[in-house]
């Protein structure tokens, strides 16, 4: 009896002991879970606190990204971390921040380069990862975290044959905001405790979520500032360019002149000028710089100054342009060029001698329904070739006493586009000139610009439009019949 | 919205030669991406670049400026830019600018490297 009681006591005690042991175990697990949660909460709090303090103003995402990486690395005790951000086009990823000995995720052929830590980071930063390519590219596509506790068994993880760069475990978390992926945060080789686990994933995912929102805000703020800066630059360029235009249009007994300049929304580099050389001769120029905004306007200002200085020293437009070319060649980059038509008008006889430095042709129309003559002498744009090659540029003369009207213009007119991306074109331009050549230069300008406006309608003007009309009002000389081609346009080169 | 595309092809047996088709329209907007892509073609070790312009429908002065920049860069290292079969419209733009004497314009790939620069 007594031993039965003893046995029962042992069973009760053992059962009690077992239950107590289970309870302790459960408590331990709870404590561990709580610790993980508390750690996560504290880490997040610390992170947000630091992040908020540092990111209240500023438009550079660099410090924010540094902070995300260093925080994620410390919180998880990862050996290395890398933040891969999508490039502007969104199709490729590049490491913006690399910390620790981060392994290259592309095949590596030489380990010589990797003898020093800094070379590894440089190499990783140079890598361009296609979105969808490899583990990092995949996370950017799926938008879901990837946890690899044992990388040795995972074929997706590269195995560089370089000591110290093997991946043991890995955690890659996407940086998503709304439905957009901004990049991927990658952590490798956890130093303390078990390999990366769900607790790390949950913590880093929470951090990544907050970081993405901030990065997105900084980006939006920066874009807004960039837009404002561009608008200011545009305004400055407009003001500046307006200063380059002639303040008054000269008048002569037998000559009437008119010029118009219509800037595009994104300012181009057009300009025109009337340069009185003396009482009889007038320099007339129309130019276009292959460069927009302030740089284009500055180049044009330099060219204008050179032209104004040189024009007074010679009545030969070829000589003048040759000197201007030398200035432009010295002052501009190899790729920047300026096209220009410059001519000298004898206001007494109506003879207009001109050169075409790669510019649009000069067109003439005697009016009265007669055809257009297009003058296209040999010529090469300013700023590209040395004097000797530029020498192919030819001089040509137009006798306005017989041609009546000459028009100098920039390509912005014939290349003006409508909403269907159709060009205004030379034909329509010539037709307008033919129809209105008998009117005053101002009427002709108005008719052309009005017709371009009607054609383009509500589409933004993408390039500047410049036109100069020279009209002979003196006695008309008998006119030679021009050779016209099948389109009704005769070309003289 | 007009756009452009640059399709790069490897050239067999010529390590320093790259060929690319320029498709669409090169204006002041698309030229930014075009210049960046051209730069990465050069950075990949190209000394001779052949740009097929058959499908280039429009080129603005900004686009021509990019081609001019590349021509100068390649020539500095004894390289060359070849412009293959530009359309009549694009050729006309080159002619107006007087650039047919500067650019190496070819009708056949076989002419690459054979014609002297004028």
Span A87-113, average pLDDT: 75
Domains in chain B: ranges and CATH: 4-108 (3.30.750.24)
A11 lies in some domain: no
What confidence category does residue A54 fall into, taking pLDDT thresholds of 50, 70 and 90? low
Q: What is the pLDDT of residues A329-371, one digit of tens each?
A: 887 777 889 999 999 999 999 999 999 999 999 999 987 767 8
What confidence category does residue B42 fall into, taking pLDDT thresholds of 50, 70 and 90? confident
Interface contact B42, partner A, CB < 8 A: no
Exposure b/e, A344-357, CB count within 10 A at least 16 = b: bbbbeebebbbbbb
Q: From the candidates A290, A295, A383, which should be mutated to test the interface with B, based on the most B CB atoms within 10 A?
A: A290
The pLDDT of residue B56 is 94
Q: For residue A400, what is the domain's CATH number?
A: 3.60.40.10
Q: Tell whether A122 and A254 lie within a shared domain.
A: no
Contact A337 B62 (CB under 8 A): no
Nearest one of A417, A381, A408, A420 to A467, comparing CA atoms: A408
Question: In the beta sheet, which residues pair with residue A188?
Answer: A80, A170
Residue A218 to residue A205: CA distance in whole angstroms? 20
The pLDDT of residue A59 is 63
> Does A240 score more than 50 pLDDT?
yes
What distance in Å separates residue B89's CA from the closest CA in chain A? 12
> Does A373 score more than 70 pLDDT?
yes
A21 lies in some domain: no
Q: What is the pLDDT of residues A211-229, one digit of tens each?
A: 888 788 888 888 888 888 8
> Does A115 score more than 60 pLDDT?
no
Q: How many residues does chain B have?
A: 118
Domain count across chain A? 2
Residue A314 to residue A96: CA distance in whole angstroms? 58
> Does A241 score more than 80 pLDDT?
no
Nearest one of A188, A14, A17 to A104, comparing CA atoms: A188
Q: Tell whether A210 and A316 lie within a shared domain.
A: no
Residue A287 to residue A338: CA distance in whole angstroms? 7
Interface contact B118, partner A, CB < 8 A: no
Question: In the beta sheet, which residues pair with residue A95?
Answer: A84
What confidence category does residue A107 fall into, taking pLDDT thresholds of 50, 70 and 90? low
- In chain A, what percentage of residues exceed pLDDT 70? 87
Which residue in chain B has the smallest CA separation from A293? B28
What distance in Å separates residue A461's CA from the closest CA in chain B? 13
User: Where a domain ends, among A222, A254, A275?
Assistant: A222
Q: Tell whether A178 and A254 lie within a shared domain.
A: no
A266 lies in some domain: yes
Contact B102 A385 (CB under 8 A): yes
A338 lies in some domain: yes
What confidence category does residue A431 fall into, taking pLDDT thresholds of 50, 70 and 90? very high
Q: Tell whether A275 and A409 lie within a shared domain.
A: yes
What rounded mean pLDDT belongs to chain A? 85
Contact A339 B62 (CB under 8 A): no
pLDDT greater at residue A323 or residue A106: A323
Q: Which of B27, B33, B69 sits opposite A334 (nearest CB)?
A: B69
Give chain A positions within 8 Å (CB) of B33. 89
Interface of B with A in 68-87 (CB under 8 A): 68-69, 72-73
The pLDDT of residue A342 is 98
Spatial contact of B59 and B90, defined as CB atoms under 8 Å apart: yes
The pLDDT of residue A493 is 59
What confidence category does residue A487 fall into, taking pLDDT thresholds of 50, 70 and 90? very low
Q: How many residues does chain A have?
A: 493
Q: Tell whether A431 and A377 lie within a shared domain.
A: yes
A26 lies in some domain: no
> Does A123 score more than 80 pLDDT?
no
Give chain A positions within 8 Å (CB) of B68. 334-335, 337, 384
Spatial contact of A284 and A349, defined as CB atoms under 8 Å apart: no
Q: Tell whether A70 and A144 lie within a shared domain.
A: yes
The pLDDT of residue A282 is 97
The pLDDT of residue A307 is 96
Q: Tell whether A207 and A253 lie within a shared domain.
A: no
What distance in Å separates residue A381's CA from the closest CA in chain B? 6
Spatial contact of A388 and A337, defined as CB atoms under 8 Å apart: no
> Does A158 score more than 90 pLDDT?
no
The pLDDT of residue B118 is 45
Which ipTM value was assigned to this complex? 0.88
Q: Which of A288, A335, A380 sits opposite B98 (nearest CB)?
A: A380
Tokens of A379: 């010529």
Interface contact B28, partner A, CB < 8 A: yes
A228 lies in some domain: no
Q: Tell whether A249 and A199 lie within a shared domain.
A: no
The pLDDT of residue A485 is 45
Q: Tell whether A91 and A180 lie within a shared domain.
A: yes
Q: What is the pLDDT of residues B82-104, one digit of tens each?
A: 999 999 999 999 999 999 989 99
Q: What is the pLDDT of residues B61-90, one digit of tens each?
A: 889 999 999 999 999 989 999 999 999 999
The pLDDT of residue A108 is 55
A458 lies in some domain: yes
Q: For residue A173, what is the domain's CATH number?
A: 3.30.450.40
- Highest mean pLDDT: which of A260-264, A285-289, B14-18, B43-47? A285-289
The pLDDT of residue A162 is 65
Interface contact A376, partner B, CB < 8 A: yes
- In chain A, what percentage of residues exceed pLDDT 90? 41
Contact B98 A290 (CB under 8 A): no
User: Where a domain ends, among A166, A190, A222?
Assistant: A222
How many CA atoms, within 13 angstroms, populate the side-chain half-sphere of residue A241? 30
What is the extent of the structural domain holding A37? 31-222
Q: Tell whether A218 and A296 lie within a shared domain.
A: no
Dihedral angle over CA of A41, A43, A47, A50, nearest 10: 110
What confidence category does residue A16 fall into, taking pLDDT thresholds of 50, 70 and 90? confident
Interface of A with B in 157-186 (CB under 8 A): none
Contact B69 A335 (CB under 8 A): yes
Query: Which ranges of chain B would DSSP assign to H, the alpha helix?
Result: 31-43, 61-76, 88-97
Q: Tell whether A188 and A157 lie within a shared domain.
A: yes
Dihedral angle over CA of A194, A199, A204, A207, nearest 10: -140
Q: Tell whether A201 and A286 lie within a shared domain.
A: no
Q: What is the DSSP letter of A417?
A: B
Interface contact A358, partner B, CB < 8 A: yes
């Amino acid at each position: 009896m007594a031993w039965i009681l003893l046995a029962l006591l042992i069973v009760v005690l053992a059962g009690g002991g077992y239950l107590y042991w289970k309870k302790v175990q459960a408590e331990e697990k709870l404590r561990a879970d709580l610790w993980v949660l508390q750690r996560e909460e504290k880490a997040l709090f610390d992170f947000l606190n630091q992040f908020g303090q540092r990111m209240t103003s500023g438009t550079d995402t660099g410090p924010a990204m540094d902070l995300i990486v260093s925080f994620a690395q410390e919180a998880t005790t990862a050996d290395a971390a890398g933040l891969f951000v999508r490039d502007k086009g969104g199709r490729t990823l590049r490491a913006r921040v690399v910390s620790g000995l981060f392994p290259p995720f592309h095949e590596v052929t030489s380990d010589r380069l990797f003898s020093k830590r800094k070379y590894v980071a440089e190499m990783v930063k140079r890598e361009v990862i296609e979105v969808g390519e490899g583990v990092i590219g995949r996370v950017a596509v799926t938008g879901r975290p990837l946890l690899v506790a044992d990388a040795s068994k995972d074929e997706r993880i590269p195995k560089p044959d370089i000591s110290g760069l093997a991946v043991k475990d890995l955690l890659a978390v996407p940086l998503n905001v709304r439905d957009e992926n901004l990049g991927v945060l990658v952590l490798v080789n956890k130093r303390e405790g078990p390999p990366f686990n769900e607790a790390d994933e949950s913590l880093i995912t929470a951090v990544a979520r907050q970081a993405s929102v901030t990065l997105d805000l900084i980006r939006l703020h920066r874009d807004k500032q960039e837009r404002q800066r561009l608008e200011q630059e545009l305004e400055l360029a407009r003001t500046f360019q307006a200063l380059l235009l002639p303040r008054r249009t000269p008048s002569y007994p037998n000559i009437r002149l008119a010029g118009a300049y219509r800037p595009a929304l994104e300012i181009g580099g057009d300009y025109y000028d009337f340069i009185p050389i003396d009482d009889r001769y007038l320099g007339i120029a129309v130019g276009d710089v292959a460069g927009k905004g302030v740089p284009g306007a500055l180049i044009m200002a330099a060219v204008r100054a050179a032209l104004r200085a040189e024009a007074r020293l010679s009545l030969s437009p070829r000589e003048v342009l040759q000197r201007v070319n030398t200035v432009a060649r010295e002052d501009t980059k190899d790729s920047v060029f300026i096209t220009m038509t410059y001519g000298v008008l004898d206001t007494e006889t109506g003879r207009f001698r001109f050169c075409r430095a790669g510019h649009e042709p000069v067109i003439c129309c005697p009016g009265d329904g007669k055809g257009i003559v297009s003058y296209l002498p040999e010529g090469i744009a300013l700023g590209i070739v040395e004097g000797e090659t530029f020498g192919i540029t030819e001089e040509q003369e137009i006798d306005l006493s017989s041609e009546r009207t000459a028009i100098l213009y920039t390509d912005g007119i014939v290349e003006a586009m409508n909403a269907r991306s159709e060009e205004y074109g030379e034909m329509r331009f010539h037709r307008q000139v033919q129809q209105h050549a008998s009117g005053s230069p101002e009427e002709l300008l108005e008719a052309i610009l009005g017709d371009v406006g009607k054609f383009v309608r509500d589409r933004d003007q993408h390039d500047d439009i410049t036109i100069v009309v020279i009209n002979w009002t003196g006695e008309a000389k008998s006119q030679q019949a021009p050779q016209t081609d099948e389109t009704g346009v005769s070309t003289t080169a | 919205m007009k756009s452009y595309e640059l399709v790069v092809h490897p050239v067999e047996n010529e390590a320093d030669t790259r060929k690319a088709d320029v498709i669409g329209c090169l204006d002041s907007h698309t030229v930014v991406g075009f210049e960046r892509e051209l730069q990465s073609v050069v950075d990949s070790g190209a000394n001779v670049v052949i740009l097929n312009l058959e499908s280039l429908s429009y080129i603005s002065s900004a686009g021509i400026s990019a081609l001019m920049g590349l021509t100068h860069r390649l020539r500095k290292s004894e390289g060359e830019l070849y412009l293959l079969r530009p359309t009549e419209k694009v050729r006309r733009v080159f002619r107006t600018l007087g650039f047919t004497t500067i650019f190496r314009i070819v009708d056949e790939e076989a002419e690459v490297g054979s014609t002297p620069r004028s």
